[in-house]
Amino acid sequence: MRAVVIQHEQHEDLGLLAPALTQEGFSLTKRFRGVEHSDLGAELVVVLGGPMGVYERELHPFLGDEVAFLSERLALERPCLGVCLGAQLMAAAAGADVFPGKNGFEVGVAPVRLTAQAQKDPVLIGLGAKLTVAHWHGDTHAPVPGATLLASTERYTQQGFRLGPSYAFQFHLELTAVELGWWLEAGAGELAAKGKDVKELRAELGKLRAVEPTLKELCARLAHHFAKVARG
């Protein structure tokens, strides 16, 4: 089974998702800022994060290619997994508007509330009403037509959805505390410019470290779901 992984930044990799997918039998094919038409038939497509906005297609033409590609995948009900920008691209591909959030930049370690539907979802069931995760985004999207809302925060309602066999999450379920620490160090200038205290954000890393077993389990469940779909 082949999982095509679309990256938009070199440092934004699969994280906890990589071992989960390989353990389920997926071979990983990486693409950087773009897709190939042959990827349409892959058993899984994973779309990762990035700093660009879905609405910046004139600046980043590959975004338009990815939205068109994902639209075709979703129409064919071929599984996709979107994370952060990837979730926004999937939302756009399914017909939802993506735009800068009115409630500001959401970054750090904080819980998402899992919806009643999520608590009955075959992948998310048993994880409880809240899940502590890493956040790093300023954009959001409108409700996705035909999708099931899975998670929300006080700041932004659209934090996760399921559409057919596909899943999308605005938050970073793949990040460990070590990886988020690297991001905070590399993005210190950007964060300071946005009025964020990097020292305070680093103090939250322990909360992420404490829930890594749960995040590993979530990644493993997702990988198992996609393998099960692929095997029919």
Residue 127: give the domain boundaries. 2-230
What is the pLDDT confidence band of residue 179, given thresholds at 50, 70 and 90? very high
Q: Is the dihedral of CA 181, 185, 190, 192 positive or negative?
A: positive
Segment 13-36 shows an average pLDDT of: 97
What's the pLDDT score for residue 149? 98
Per-residue pLDDT reduced to its tens digit, 180-228: 999 999 999 999 999 999 999 999 999 999 999 999 999 999 999 999 9
CA gap 127, 114 in Å, rounded? 9
Task: Name the average pLDDT for the chain.
Answer: 97
What's the pLDDT score for residue 63? 98
CA gap 51, 217 in Å, rounded? 27
Per-residue pLDDT reduced to its tens digit, 115-173: 999 999 999 999 999 999 999 999 999 999 999 999 999 999 999 999 999 999 999 99
How many CB atoms are located within 10 Å of the residue 55 CB? Answer: 15
Q: Are 66 and 98 in contact (CB under 8 A)?
A: no
How far is residue 114 from each of residues 33, 64, 150, 158, measured CA to CA in Å?
31, 31, 6, 11
What's the pLDDT score for residue 80? 98
Distance spanning both ends of the chain, measured CA to CA: 12
pTM, rounded to two decimals: 0.97
How many CB atoms are located within 10 Å of the residue 146 CB? Answer: 11
Can you give the CATH number for the domain in which 52 is found? Answer: 3.40.50.880
What's the total number of domains in the chain?
1
- Which tokens is 172 given? 């970073």
Residue 36, C-beta contacts closer than 8 angstroms, at least 6 positions apart: none
> How do 148-152 and 160-163 pair as beta strands?
antiparallel
Q: Are 4 and 26 in contact (CB under 8 A)?
A: no
Phi first, then psi, for residue 112 (nearest 5°) are -110, 145
What is the pLDDT confidence band of residue 113, given thresholds at 50, 70 and 90? very high
